[in-house]
Structure 1
Amino acid sequence: LNSVFRIFGKSDLIVSDNGPPFNSQAFVDYARQMKIELKKSPAYSPESNGLAERGVQTAKSGLKKLMADPKYGSCKIPELVEVFLFSYRNSYCQALGCSPASKIYILH
């Protein structure tokens, strides 16, 4: 997380599922030390974290389209993920009024 925070800045809140990495004492101690609030979504209730679930749907849909495109037929999944992320991060988002990359790097 330190390397991510160095690039994008520290978060005040981390929302996670109840997976083991987010329940470890080391993670809880790190969050406390960094003054980061931890919030957990309810177990076995993906609909309670709608934003994340929508993101998963968007990624699945985008990857399926790439896999069906003959142009990317020889690409492996990790390469397709990179292509999808590049396209997604640089595409206009109506909710943001710009691309996610523009929003993160304040390019607009």
Structure 2
Amino acid sequence: MPARGLDTQGHRLSHSTGGTKPLSSCRRNWGDARFGRRLLQRTYQPGRMRALTLTPGQPRAAHLAPHAPHAVVRWDGRRWKLVAIVDNLAAAQALMRPDKPDPELW
């Protein structure tokens, strides 16, 4: 019979899970959930814009087909909404970041 507060493998049990999971796994899961929430909050902020390549087949990264048409979409907090369809990646980037200056010439 295991000691009180330990499972059959000798792990300390968590009180918050009703004593069914080892404490170390509860901490690990909590950190994963917290990281996931923080990542989603940063990634999907209202107003965020993306450029989606409009090519047949599987979705691909925009830089792999820079001359293909792109759809520019904006996250409104619940779903992605179409803003415009442009001719290429450069036009999409100009639409998404209008105040970004051109690179300096050397």
The bucket for the TM-score relative to the shorter chain is under 0.3
Q: TM-score, structure 1 length as denominator? A: 0.25
Q: TM-score, structure 2 length as denominator? A: 0.25
Higher strand proportion: 2
Higher helix proportion: 1
Q: Report which of the two structures shows the higher radius of gyration computed on alpha carbons.
A: 2
